[in-house]
């Protein structure tokens, strides 16, 4: 355990949990990184789709961002209500399943799980995108850097949430400070220049597709830009992680996050138009992120530029951490309803749900590798899950208010209903406009995961019915088992096993398998070695059965003998005493035939309920 302690910290007792809780100041980095970090790739995703329009396209970013901000406002008010109504943690899964039924809940849970995997993948990919904008020589190693960062995050999270809260506070506030400074400074510079500042980079050439700038392109750009909103549900998911009063702290945290995000989106859109900054071709040499261009345009490639890029890198990379806090929680909630394996319920040594962390790491690593760590290729998969969860959660809240009633029920229903409608429309826009570019993957994954979860639940239900027994212990038909001892020669291991067998039952059968490769036969010495001493001690006398094996396998004749004995004695349990040599060093295992392990495994896997296996170990001292 020494190594585990050093790596992951000492184990935390269940009672130490209260020390792991959050206030507003520490809540913003934990639950806000996702939403705030989105500002670094949302506007860029929208601008990338406007690339074919060239310089003209950049103008459209302002109305698109305005639409996104309006949507964000609707969602904000909707989630404020969820936090109040579900102080124990109102994730989309819980809200949807409690108010719309199990099916809707499972759908929401699935959508969230997919969303979190993509938060991790996109966050890391965009962060590394910022890094290679500042240090172009690293561009060739994009994927390797992405995977390395992923594993570091996984490791930090296995140590527990409080450590991560402290670790992530500084970069978040640095990022907010840097970006707000850049935006305000840029704003004043533009104002002084009569709102027509000279572009710091060469303006992009006019595009070749002016005529295509219709509603379709606008919709697709909006769908991509909506990824800027992902993560705003995080606070409502984790209300139970806040200090008391939980609801107040959670709501205040959400307000701070949304306020900053709106400033970011509005500022980026206006300055991009003012400074004529568009996207560059993603995944290609010469790629530069929009925020990198913007910062360079405002402050030049000064030390401030590098600090800003560093804070963007840190925040985008650590945004993945939001998912690492929430994904295991969603898995746990689903597992508690027995739609996922039990192991997602247990907390590990450091009070974190280790299994959820492992699964999230594996899935997002797969995504990063499949899409070579390029943000723009991941974006089309992204928004479906997030907005589907939004919709179900808010539709669930409508049902909640309808059910609970109360003074402000009508008013609350209206707010949540508006949220549900707006996000539902967005889901449709995203699916239709991004279908071929990757949304289809999400649309296939959702029913696949739903099917698996239902299968898990079915298995648990059936197993539960099979095993359940409210009755007291049945005491009929209890008599000692027939004990079978497979032996391969006369030595201390055999003797120990035989002695143990004699303490268990009066019916002991020793079995030896004779092959042409191992011709030893105990029959001729059995009388002196075993029968005489047991008779003298008035003990039951073990019988010896020597089996021959034409095919030289020792295991199968033994198993056959045991099965025959079982068939011939339908009223008795069988206990197979397996002498087992335990080596001191793992490499010594190659030196001894692992027959006892093989026999144990074979007997356990055969569905014979009356056969029990007894391992009598002999620990080699040499």
Which residue in the set 5, 7, 11, 208 belongs to the binding site for its own copies (CB under 8 A)?
Answer: 11
Among positions 312-341, residues that touch its own copies (CB under 8 A) are 341
Which residue in the set 88, 528, 567, 571 belongs to the binding site for its own copies (CB under 8 A)?
Answer: 528
- In this structure, are residues 579 and 484 in contact, taking their beta carbons and an 8 Å threshold? no
Which residue in the set 402, 410, 499, 564 belongs to the binding site for its own copies (CB under 8 A)?
Answer: 499
**Maximal C-alpha separation, the chain:** 114
- In this structure, are residues 55 and 276 in contact, taking their beta carbons and an 8 Å threshold? yes
Which residue in the set 170, 195, 306, 342 belongs to the binding site for its own copies (CB under 8 A)?
Answer: 342
Q: b/e per residue, 599-609, with b = 16+ CB within 10 A?
A: bbeebeeeeee
- In this structure, are residues 482 and 565 in contact, taking their beta carbons and an 8 Å threshold? yes
Which residue in the set 205, 406, 536, 571 belongs to the binding site for its own copies (CB under 8 A)?
Answer: 536
Which residue in the set 117, 232, 422, 614 belongs to the binding site for its own copies (CB under 8 A)?
Answer: 614
* Two tokens, residue 556: 């199968």
Nearest CB to its own copies, comparing residues 403 and 606: 606
- In this structure, are residues 28 and 249 in contact, taking their beta carbons and an 8 Å threshold? no
Nearest CB to its own copies, comparing residues 128 and 502: 502
Site string for its own copies, 537-556 (x = CB under 8 A): x-x----------xxx----
Q: Is 590 in the site for its own copies (CB under 8 A)?
A: yes
* Two tokens, residue 142: 């994009």
Q: Hunting for tokens 């970006």 — which residue is that?
A: 179
Q: Is 616 in the site for its own copies (CB under 8 A)?
A: yes
Using DSSP's 3-state secondary structure scheme, residue 547 falls into strand
Which residue in the set 137, 407, 503, 568 belongs to the binding site for its own copies (CB under 8 A)?
Answer: 503
The residues near 77 (Cβ < 8 Å, ≥ 6 apart) are 415, 419
Nearest CB to its own copies, comparing residues 181 and 534: 534
Contact segment (CB under 8 A) with its own copies among 133-141, 295-303, 396-404, 493-501 equals 493-501
Q: Is 349 in the site for its own copies (CB under 8 A)?
A: yes
Shortest Cβ 474–its own copies spacing (Å): 7
Shortest Cβ 585–its own copies spacing (Å): 9
Shortest Cβ 442–its own copies spacing (Å): 24
Q: Is 573 in the site for its own copies (CB under 8 A)?
A: yes
Site string for its own copies, 449-488 (x = CB under 8 A): -------x--xx-xx-xxxxxx-xxxx--xxxx-------
Contact segment (CB under 8 A) with its own copies among 153-161, 212-220, 406-414, 589-597 equals 589-597
Shortest Cβ 485–its own copies spacing (Å): 11
Q: Is 493 in the site for its own copies (CB under 8 A)?
A: yes
Contact segment (CB under 8 A) with its own copies among 13-21, 28-36, 167-175, 315-323 equals 13-21
* Two tokens, residue 130: 């910022």
Write the DSSP symbol of residue 242. Answer: B
Angstrom distance (rounded) from CA 38 to CA 232: 10
What is the per-residue DSSP string for 90-142? --HHHHHHHHH-HHHHHHHHHHHHHHHHHHHHHHHHHHHHHHHHH-GGGGGGH
Using DSSP's 3-state secondary structure scheme, residue 303 falls into helix
Which residue in the set 2, 15, 88, 570 belongs to the binding site for its own copies (CB under 8 A)?
Answer: 15
Q: Find, among 339, 367, 362, 342, the residue nearest to 353 by Cα.
A: 342
Shortest Cβ 481–its own copies spacing (Å): 6
Among positions 256-315, residues that touch its own copies (CB under 8 A) are none
- In this structure, are residues 161 and 241 in contact, taking their beta carbons and an 8 Å threshold? yes
Alpha-helical runs (H) found in 300-374: 303-336, 354-370
Q: Is 575 in the site for its own copies (CB under 8 A)?
A: yes
């Amino acid at each position: 355990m020494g190594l585990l302690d050093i790596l992951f910290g000492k184990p935390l007792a269940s009672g130490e949990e209260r020390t792991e809780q959050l206030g507003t100041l520490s809540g913003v980095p934990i639950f806000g990184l996702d939403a705030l970090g989105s500002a670094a790739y949302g506007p860029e995703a929208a601008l990338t789709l406007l690339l074919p329009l060239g310089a003209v396209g950049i103008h459209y970013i302002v109305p698109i961002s305005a639409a996104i901000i309006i949507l964000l406002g609707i969602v904000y008010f909707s989630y404020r209500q969820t936090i109040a109504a579900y102080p124990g943690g109102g994730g989309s899964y819980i809200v949807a399943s409690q108010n719309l039924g199990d099916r809707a809940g499972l759908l929401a849970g699935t959508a969230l799980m997919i969303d979190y995997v993509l938060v991790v993948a996109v966050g890391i990919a965009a962060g590394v995108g910022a890094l290679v904008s500042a240090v172009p020589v690293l561009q060739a190693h994009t994927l390797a850097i992405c995977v390395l960062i992923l594993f570091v995050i996984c490791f930090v999270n296995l140590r527990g949430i409080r450590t991560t809260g402290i670790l992530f506070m500084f970069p978040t506030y640095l990022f907010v400070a840097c970006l707000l400074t850049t935006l305000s400074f840029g704003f004043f510079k533009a104002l002084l220049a009569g709102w027509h500042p000279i572009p710091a980079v060469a303006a992009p050439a006019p595009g070749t597709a002016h005529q295509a700038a219709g509603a379709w392109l606008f919709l697709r750009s909006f769908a991509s830009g909506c990824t800027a909103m992902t993560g705003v549900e995080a606070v409502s998911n984790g209300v139970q992680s806040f200090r008391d009063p939980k609801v107040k702290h959670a709501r205040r945290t959400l307000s701070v996050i949304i306020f900053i995000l709106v400033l970011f989106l509005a500022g980026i859109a206006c300055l991009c138009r003012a400074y004529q900054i568009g996207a560059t071709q993603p995944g290609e040499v010469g790629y530069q992120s929009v925020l990198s261009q913007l910062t360079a345009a405002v402050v030049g490639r000064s030390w401030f530029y590098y600090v800003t890029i560093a804070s963007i890198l840190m925040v985008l990379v650590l945004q993945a951490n939001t998912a690492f806090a929430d994904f295991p929680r969603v898995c746990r909630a689903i597992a508690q309803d027995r739609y996922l394996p039990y192991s997602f319920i247990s907390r590990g040594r450091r009070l974190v749900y280790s299994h959820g962390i492992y699964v999230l790491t594996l899935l997002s690593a797969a995504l990063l590798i499949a899409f070579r760590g390029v943000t723009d290729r991941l974006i089309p998969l992204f928004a479906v899950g997030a907005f589907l969860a939004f919709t179900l959660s808010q539709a669930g809240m409508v049902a909640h208010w309808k059910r609970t009633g109360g003074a402000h029920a009508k008013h609350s229903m209206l707010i949540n209903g508006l949220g549900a409608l707006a996000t539902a429309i967005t889901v449709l826009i995203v699916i239709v406009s991004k279908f071929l570019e990757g949304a289809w993957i999400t649309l296939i994954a959702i029913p696949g995961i739903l099917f698996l979860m239902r299968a898990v639940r079915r298995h648990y239900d059936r197993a539960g019915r099979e095993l359940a027994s409210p009755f007291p212990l049945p005491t009929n038909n209890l008599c000692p088992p027939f004990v079978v001892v497979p032996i391969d020669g006369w030595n201390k291991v055999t003797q120990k096993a035989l002695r143990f067998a004699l303490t268990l039952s009066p019916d002991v059968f020793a079995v030896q398998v004779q092959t042409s490769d191992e011709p030893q036969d105990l029959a001729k010495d059995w009388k002196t070695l075993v029968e005489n001493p047991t008779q003298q001690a008035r003990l039951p006398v073990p019988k010896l059965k020597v089996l021959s094996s034409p095919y030289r396998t020792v295991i199968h004749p033994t198993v056959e003998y045991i099965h025959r004995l079982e068939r011939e004695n339908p009223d008795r349990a069988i206990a197979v005493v397996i002498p087992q040599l335990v080596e001191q060093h793992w490499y010594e295992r190659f030196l001894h035939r692992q027959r006892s392990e093989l026999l144990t495994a074979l007997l356990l896997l055969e569905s014979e309920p009356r056969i029990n296996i007894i391992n009598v170990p002999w620990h080699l001292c040499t």
